[in-house]
Structure 1
């Protein structure tokens, strides 16, 4: 043991002498770098092999990063502010099911609103003169012009059992908003023979409201023979639900009283395809044997026409119609060897100018 210690001391002294010789002639050596682990006892290799050796593993709870910190109190951004009241968008409106007494009252206009003249100008100028000039000015500005039209409502071929025939029905007018002159004509017959019926009418027409016209004039029948001339009083216009109606009362030069009523309706299937049902009644107050007319409801016609308007002024059509003579009129027809009625197939044209 002693020799080992002596050898170790000699070696240390030799190393110290060599180091001093190396730094001879130099100034103070720089301060050695400080060992960050100076003063710490380094663990032995056996101890560093397993950092947990000899330790009993304990479950350590996860550290709370906010442990020991006091969280600041959260302030309310609306603290101390009073929220505005929300306006009710239905305020003042009576809701369905609300009692009548809960609804807001509806007051009539004040009495002052219903006083005074209808037209203030009448307080300055003569009333009759003012109103007449006012009407004239309105007519000059918005109407009062004259115009006219000619309508061929039916121009058709009729295929009937036993014989084929034809029929026409047309009318036209010329005038202004209130006053017009009307022309009407209708008739029918078989091909190769004179017409069975042919008549013309010339009428004066006066508008009685926006929908109807009162008409008066004369009618002359060229067929059947003998000819007749009639005074005519009638009404023509557009009834509710768009029914076109025409009713006429006739007084002949022989004192015979007859009447006729027609109605038709345009049912649009498309903008150009139109179905038109139509009906016509003839009545008589007495028998007129020379014309084959009996008293009461003398005849009826009912038909359907389907037309296609290439343009409103030009519309061909097809259809069917049933006509029949009734009562004493049918008896007169049988006595003369004529048919009392039947079906007809129609091909025709409707147009206006």
Structure 2
């Protein structure tokens, strides 16, 4: 299971990068990641599948240099679906979003442990299904890990 989706309600774990169609999946993927000036990073991924199903994931992060080694990094992500899919109980539009804040210590350019917090929110039909099941539509998660760059 993808790490970003681990604690979401069971019906809400359908990420856009999972299979868009049952049976033999004929899908297309187009992704780009850009590092802009002054520590800004943008990423977008578009998915297209059978029966005109589509999904889009947008992400942005900004690295704020506190010292030469300490970096504070806010992140924003959003997942959108282009078409209703009754089989996955998903409607078109914004499905979920995430805002996170991470503090990392760059031991070297390629190795940086971090700690942070992530605020996740379900929207639209995902939120309605979660409420019907008595589950929360938002979560707060503490995160820790290591950022590796090669």
TM-score by length of 2: 0.78
1:187-225 CA-partner distances (Å, limit 9, x unpaired): 5425xxxxx4688xxxxxxxxxxxxxxxxxxxx627x99
- How many angstroms apart in 2 are the aligned matches of 1:166 and 1:221? 10
Distance 1:198-1:295 versus aligned 2 partners, 3 A rule = closer
- How many angstroms apart in 2 are the aligned matches of 1:166 and 1:298? 16
SS in 1 for 2:83: coil
Partner residue, 2:120? 323
Q: Are residues 1:271 and 2:68 paired?
A: yes
Shift of 1:236: 2.4
Look at both structures and tell me which one has the larger radius of gyration over its CA atoms: 1
Partner residue, 2:10? none
Alignment of 1:147-226 (within 5 A): 167=3, 188-189=5-6, 196=13, 221=18
- Ranges in structure 1 where 5+ consecutive residues have no aligned partner: 1-164, 168-186, 191-195, 200-219
Partner residue, 2:95? 298
- Ranges in structure 2 where 5+ consecutive residues have no aligned partner: 8-12
Alignment of 1:242-257 (within 5 A): 242-257=39-54
- How many angstroms apart in 1 are the aligned matches of 2:87 and 2:132? 12
- How many angstroms apart in 2 are the aligned matches of 1:232 and 1:319? 30
- How many angstroms apart in 1 are the aligned matches of 2:40 and 2:26? 29
SS in 2 for 1:271: coil
CA contact (8 A) 2:103 2:115 kept: yes
1:258-297 CA-partner distances (Å, limit 9, x unpaired): 1111111111111111111100011122222333432211
Shift of 1:319: 0.6
Q: Are residues 1:262 and 2:50 paired?
A: no
Residue number among 15, 29, 35 corresponding to 1:232 in the alignment: 29
Point out which structure has higher relative CO (alpha carbons under 8 A, 6+ apart). Answer: 2
Distance 1:231-1:330 versus aligned 2 partners, 3 A rule = same
SS in 2 for 1:270: coil
Partner residue, 2:84? 287
TM-score by length of 1: 0.36
- How many angstroms apart in 1 are the aligned matches of 2:82 and 2:38? 31
1:22-49 CA-partner distances (Å, limit 9, x unpaired): xxxxxxxxxxxxxxxxxxxxxxxxxxxx
- How many angstroms apart in 2 are the aligned matches of 1:251 and 1:328? 20
- How many angstroms apart in 2 are the aligned matches of 1:246 and 1:229? 23
SS in 2 for 1:343: strand
Partner residue, 2:148? 351
Residue number among 311, 321, 341 corresponding to 2:108 in the alignment: 311
Root-mean-square deviation (CA), in Å?
3.0
CA contact (8 A) 1:234 1:247 kept: yes
SS in 2 for 1:221: coil
Shift of 1:329: 2.1
